Amino acid sequence: MRILVAGSGGREHAVVNTLSRRGGHDLHAAPGNPGMAAVCECHPVKADDIQGLVALASRLGADLVVPGPEAPLVAGIADALEASGIPCFGPSAACARLEGSKWFAKELMTSAGVRTAPGLLCTTPGEVREATGGSWDGWVLKDDGLAAGKGVFLPDGEAGAEDALGRLFPGGGGRVVVERRLCGREVSIMAICSGVEALVLPPSRDHKRAYDGDRGPNTGGMGAVCPAPGIPDGFEDWALSNVVRPVLGELRRRGADYRGVLYAGMILAPEGPSVLEFNCRFGDPEAQAVLALLEGDIGAVFLSCATGKPDFSGIEVLPGASACVVMASGGYPGTYASGFRIDGIDNAGDVTVFHAGTAVSEGRLVTAGGRVLGVTGTGAGLGEALERAYAAVRGITFEGAFWREDIGAV
């Protein structure tokens, strides 16, 4: 089967790597990255170029397209491909609103009976202040639209609130969801879906804050482990019955058929598990950790879901655990410099190094993003997986590199 993966980050590298392990597929990526180029042919078409991707898929004679990032899905890449007769493992624009609008997701969860924090939609800083009563403890402020994982703020005082409001309402306008803050350990679930049928993959845990001890600003994700420690037995079945199927059913009731990955970021609150957010694609870096534990012809499973004939029998979950540690550029998630030489990947040992923000300059691998690499180790248990990942991280160098030392421990 000829498969085109759209995107250029660590998540897309993980998807291509998983597709390459079984099935003998002819793999292509747009635009791809230097790491992906080792296992597939890369094409200079941006992931958000809807017309360019459809034209490329048509020219290649692609049997399946797998969009990685959220932006093309929200913009309607699946609809455009369907109109051209090309199967897409990714939801329609109507379904991708689950990620494109946090308020839409909140409203849909309420209709579907899915537990989530109470919230309000505000369109001015004044409305936010009124909603919180001027007291910031216990509240979360979320950009309603796409924000690359950086649109969530937990103000701890007036100064933090002013900074958050300035970022959320540039120029005085915006759409912000104000939610009650929930306490508990977070867990991410990703389900492979087609209509109302779904398979929930092993739960993982992402680490969003930039620095050890869950301090600093939110990022796109500094690391992930799978399975997530401290998760009750049977959590996948609970999530399927209480989150995934109700949401898929409510979308179908509204005339939208979800095909692709549904991601739910959840928190294990004292009153019970609650959904914090939905994504309409694999998480990043959760994909690097979760996909490392899957075996089988994943491409055939993706195609079955894309064509509305879901068959999950081709997926096997391997025993053990995995851990992904993100190596980032100094200054991320704020301003950072790029173009620094990367050394040590070839001697990384028994791990997989996923490229997230890299490029080739004058024949050398260099940094080209905030999150540069996702170093993923596996083992019989989480301790072994983390030991392998961190040993490899310490052998890879580039100027300004930093990472969290407590992935999996918090």
Report the helix count and the strand count for the chain, using DSSP H and E. 13, 23
pLDDT of residue 147 exceeding 90, the answer is no
**CB 333 within 8 Å of CB 370:** yes
CA distance 295 to 298: 8
26-31, strands of its sheet edge to edge: 41-42, 26-31, 2-7, 64-67
Same fold, 118-180 and 183-317: no
Q: Nearest-5° angle of CA 275, CA 199, CA 225?
A: 60
* Residue 334: CB atoms within 10 Å: 11
* Residue 209: CB atoms within 10 Å: 18
**CB 274 within 8 Å of CB 182:** yes
**CB 178 within 8 Å of CB 131:** yes
**Average confidence (pLDDT) over 346-355:** 94
Q: Which pLDDT value is given to residue 54?
A: 98
CA distance 278 to 265: 6
- CATH number for the segment(s) 321-393: 3.90.600.10
pLDDT tens, 207-238? 999 999 999 988 999 999 999 999 988 999 99
- How many CA atoms within 13 Å lie on the side-chain side of 86? 27
Q: Which of 141, 140, 321, 139 is CA-nearest to residue 231?
A: 321
**Average confidence (pLDDT) over 116-123:** 93
The letter for the amino acid at 266 is: M
pLDDT of residue 247 exceeding 80, the answer is yes
pLDDT of residue 118 exceeding 80, the answer is yes
Q: Which pLDDT value is given to residue 345?
A: 96
Mean pLDDT of the chain: 95
**CB neighbours of 261 closer than 8 A, spacing ≥ 6?**
89, 90, 190, 191, 192, 193, 279, 280, 281, 282
The letter for the amino acid at 214 is: D
Q: Nearest-5° angle of CA 63, CA 68, CA 70?
A: 125
Give the whole-number percent of the chain exceeding pLDDT 70.
100
pLDDT tens, 152-205? 888 888 888 888 898 898 877 789 999 998 989 999 999 999 999 999 999 999
Taken in order 117, 253, 238, 259, is the CA torsion positive or negative?
Answer: negative
The letter for the amino acid at 348 is: A
Q: Which of 188, 184, 308, 335 is CA-nearest to residue 252?
A: 308
Backbone φ and ψ for 82, nearest 5 degrees, come out as -60, -40
CA distance 212 to 406: 6
Lowest mean pLDDT among 69-78, 99-108, 142-151, 361-370: 142-151
CA distance 151 to 140: 10
The letter for the amino acid at 273 is: P
Taken in order 135, 136, 142, 143, is the CA torsion positive or negative?
Answer: positive
| Whether the bond into 67 is cis, omega within 30 of 0 | no
What's the CATH architecture for 118-180? 2-Layer Sandwich (3.30)
CA distance 32 to 8: 4
Task: Tell me how far CA of residue 383 lies from CA of 208, 212, 227, 228, 376, in angstroms.
Answer: 21, 18, 12, 12, 13
* Residue 364: CB atoms within 10 Å: 12
- List the domain boundaries for the chain: 2-94, 118-180, 183-317, 321-393
Q: How confident is the model at residue 52 (pLDDT cuts 50, 70, 90)?
A: very high
CA distance 186 to 266: 6
- Domain spanning 183-317, CATH class: alpha beta
For residue 371, the cross-strand partners are 328
Angle between helices 158-168 and 125-132 (to 10 degrees): 140
Q: What is the DSSP letter of 22?
A: S
Give the whole-number percent of the chain exceeding pLDDT 90.
84
pLDDT tens, 293-315? 999 999 999 999 999 999 999 89
Q: Which pLDDT value is given to residue 151?
A: 83
**CB 34 within 8 Å of CB 16:** no
The letter for the amino acid at 396 is: I
User: What's the chain's length in residues?
Assistant: 410
CA distance 302 to 311: 9
- Domain spanning 2-94, CATH class: alpha beta
Q: Which pLDDT value is given to residue 149?
A: 66
